Chain A
């Protein structure tokens, strides 16, 4: 018995003094292994009386368990230390540059276009498109811009031949939709348009428009105002005010231009709005009865509005870009600024 107690104490001391996993393994083999000291003692039990065997068995088993537990405990702590050491070795400089693809960006005009489109889609408008190279008939004639009208002067329009031209506005899409004769109409159309303007800070011979057309039997100027004010607040912010000024377009009557209160100064007048407090955003009006006739609709049964705006202009305003030429240079340092 004393023998066992001593053996145990000795083993415990050795375990405590062990400095590596290997030593622990050796200790385990020496005491608990097949040829270990404890195992050896247990083998002597065979000759003992039943009662003694039970008694001694318990003692020796307790000793075995204690030794085993202690070894495990020590192994755990050795493993933890090794792991800590490994983790320490694996430490990195988290301030080193990341590995990223550098996600690209949409063109500012596309972003603005999507924003405008989203607003009108949510209001129930359907997006339609039309050809960029268009018949004179749709670009002008059906929109009440007859031959000889100053708006179709060669100065403004690129011609392919006397019947075909580069559309100067997205409005021919309206004519094409009305011509189908199906009411009500509630559409927006957008895309590239062309005017014979030389390139400078505020002009480009190619630009983009988005425009809308709503025709039913009872659409009013009040509906036009409500729709566009809703759009303006949604696009520029809830606090924005709108102002409708009389204007003239051949295809609408009455016609208006919509200004929004300057979003930089809030309408007090600043350099951005040239002191006016208002910024011109779009043209609009009630579809001219003459246009219904030209597009084959019954002018007495149709009442509706149309509006149109320049995407580039909105983009320049939104991002405070001061030169339109930047939009068509495609310098990645420019393009990667917008989201």
Chain B
């Protein structure tokens, strides 16, 4: 919301601060200023001059030599602008002065441009005649372009006047951030009231009275068919209007906030919209057929040409303003071409209405037509304020002498008697308790009174009269905020809450996740973060079968685009995409991990919330990375998670995006907790990674289910252990887990540990066999083992191995 210092001062005449000081104070009472700008910040020594004589430049066709009167002197200025004429009044910057911009380029000059005396093609020039653009103002607001010198001949001024003052550029423009609850502050008056209260100045209400010229109680008949969408429809009738330019003060007022002046009638409606935050509409009265207005929902398929010349197709959720024959406006959004004000308009029907905000927002969105009016109406405007606004417009019409106003006020306002100020009762002590303050009730009353919340005190009880425009005030907390805003947020103490609390203890999940992340980090992995939604196409890239259950993903109704359409059911895509980015930036080794949710639907229509499974993934390409390194990460994480049960790695040839020969499912007993392996070549190629990629994905929930974090000391034997090496010839197709299972089953209590230390396939071993060597470590806690004991254990193991076709090497 933009408001200029001058505009605000119409209502807070005694305001004596501006700029930074103003911005800081008003921000601290809750109307935050986002930015502010002095309109004349880069303008210096700009005066009104009169061009007395123009001569051709002897050396340049396009330059003109002007003798200009600066009020007390005549100086020579050379200009390149063709639109100058003798007798023209225009702004000129004198030598040593500054302008804000250049007419010759569109660069920004944060500190302006200093004008020096100089020669243009040999002719001396003592200043510069200025275009409006050079004064730092948008040319379109002044009905012209940036090329020509700004003509001030029709503006009341004389040579020597300070052009900045004449053009009302000695002003500051503020951009306020208005919070969505303060509908009343989307208006200059709303802000001005805040300003007045902040700086303890008087607020001057604008004049809303006028002397009507005639009576006519039948100028229009209004019927509101859809009252739910239109709480108020009010009109004023103005005869014999004179359409002309607005006075300069009004034009400059609008220009300061970025509105282009059109003519007096349009300018008045725009001005009142700024003042009251209430959009108004002006119809050419004589185009309204049947002198009748009907407010009703459109029919599906109705077509209507809005005043921007666009044909709009309507549906039955949209509210139309119709006359006796057809649609003449889209309520709260835009008027129609068929009833708009033209220069030939004689009589005027002014409308100030109130519409259902949500309906306006949805309609504007459906139509793709968000207007200044719809932006305001969608907030749900107060009918009582609309009535003030329409009267204010009439008052301005009277002031500007541009029409005769009818005394009668024809409107439909079904809830007129219900929509009145409400009284709320609030306990002073409760407000103080909430705020942690000790503010005297009289001070509270003083604060509330000055922001139009008239307050009666009765002991601890305040009875507060809340105007209808303050829809945001409903309970004691709202009142507490109003009090605190003007008492000063900074004046509250800073204390700490007095609550009995339990110190936070880490959950099992916290610990397991933390350990997994630590292991990844200490192995050189960086933490990645990827979006939770991705493209459906990801599942094709990952070679999922069309009926794979992981394709059962949750779809977003209104995604940002196809690339962000479905909630991920795996973390692989994110990791591969991230690795791909690194690979394509020529990073030789990249190791990433991510800990995030995947989203698995529990029912078809997502009527119940899905299973959000915390999932841990590690992925890498580059140096020193292979299957067994990744398998090691899995084992370390499971060990640190103190899983109870038998961890096994079982080859899985069926994960579509993984290498069928180099991928294993990870089980704890028979619970699947993840998989590890090499990514399928087709997939890495598709992700544009020219290197082998390894992945480990773990399901945190299943690990938690198998984890027991209670640690108890296990005795360490004081007796020496006996080591034996077993070197064996093994049929090629026997995996080592089978050998290890024999150790586990046959080794008995005395076998403490076993470790593979050599594996060999080649000429030294018979065809179809491989050579494998294990170190076995035996021991007991209560004694040194005898050779016989160890031999007997070994024998059992060897017997077991023999049944698998494994022989000890001689």
Contact = CB atoms under 8 A, between A and B. Distances in A.
Nearest to A158: B556
A101 B623 CA distance: 11
A328 B530 contact: yes
A246 interface: yes
Given A159-B558, A198-B560, A164 B436 contact: no
Contacts of A30: none
Contacts of A214: 497, 499
Given A161-B606, A253-B477, A222 B436 contact: yes
A107 interface: yes
A289 B582 contact: no
Contacts of A229: 494
A104 B525 contact: yes
6 contacts: A104-B526, A160-B555, A160-B557, A219-B497, A245-B489, A331-B587
A278 B558 CA distance: 36
B605 interface: yes
Given A206-B531, A221-B435, A186 B477 contact: no
Interface string B430-473: 00011111000000000000000000000000000000000010
Contacts of B497: 186, 214, 216, 219, 223, 226-227, 305
A265 to B, nearest CB: 15
A105 B532 CA distance: 21
A150 B433 contact: no
A22 interface: no
Contact of A103 (B493, B499, B522): B522
A106 B527 contact: yes
Contacts of B528: 107, 330, 335
Interface size class of A (residues with CB under 8 A): 35 or more
A103 B517 CA distance: 12
A335 B475 contact: no
A226 B582 contact: no
A286 interface: yes
A185 B525 CA distance: 38
Interface stretch (B3-11, B55-63, B178-186): B178-186
Contacts of A219: 497, 499
B526 A196 contact: no
Interface string B485-509: 1000110111111111111100000
Contacts of B29: 246
Nearest to B527: A107
Contacts of B524: 101-104
A103 B612 contact: no
A246 B480 contact: no
A124 B532 CA distance: 31
A331 B585 contact: yes
A105 B612 contact: no
Interface in A194-232: 194, 196, 198-199, 205-206, 214, 216, 218-223, 225-227, 229-230
A225 B596 CA distance: 33
A254 B481 contact: yes
Given A186-B497, A244-B489, A148 B357 contact: yes
B660 interface: no
Interface in A102-129: 102-107, 109-110, 121, 123-127
Given A131-B609, A247-B179, A290-B475, A101 B523 contact: yes
Given A220-B434, A220-B435, A329-B581, A107 B494 contact: no
A223 B436 contact: yes
Nearest to A253: B477
A184 interface: yes
A256 B587 CA distance: 46
A163 interface: yes
Given A105-B526, A131-B609, A330-B592, 17 more contacts: A103-B521, A105-B521, A106-B527, A124-B499, A133-B610, A158-B556, A159-B556, A160-B555, A164-B607, A218-B433, A219-B497, A222-B492, A223-B495, A223-B496, A226-B493, A246-B29, A288-B477
B275 interface: no
B599 interface: yes
Interface in B120-177: none
B588 to A, nearest CB: 10
Given A104-B525, A148-B358, A286-B434, A121 B476 contact: no
B554 A160 contact: yes
Among A125, A153, A158, A327, the most chain B Cβ lie within 10 Å of the Cβ of A158
B567 A332 contact: no
A70 interface: no
Interface residues of B, number: 86
B397 to A, nearest CB: 34
Interface of B: 27-30, 32, 179-182, 357-358, 361, 378-379, 433-437, 472, 474-478, 480-481, 484-485, 489-490, 492-504, 517, 520-533, 554-560, 564, 567, 578, 581-582, 585, 587, 590-593, 596-597, 599, 605-607, 609-610, 612
A171 interface: no
B680 to A, nearest CB: 21
A56 interface: no
Contacts of A226: 493-497
Interface string A310-324: 000000000000000
A16 B690 CA distance: 70
Given A148-B357, A196-B560, A303-B433, A330 B529 contact: yes
A268 B503 CA distance: 39
B181 A248 contact: yes
B616 to A, nearest CB: 13
Nearest to A299: B475
The 5 closest A-B pairs by CB, nearest first: A222-B436, A220-B436, A246-B30, A254-B481, A248-B179
Contacts of B557: 158-161
Contacts of B525: 104
A283 to B, nearest CB: 11
Contacts of A336: 526
A154 B605 CA distance: 20
A134 B567 CA distance: 13
B37 to A, nearest CB: 12
A178 interface: no
A101 B495 contact: no
B361 A289 contact: no
A327 B529 CA distance: 7
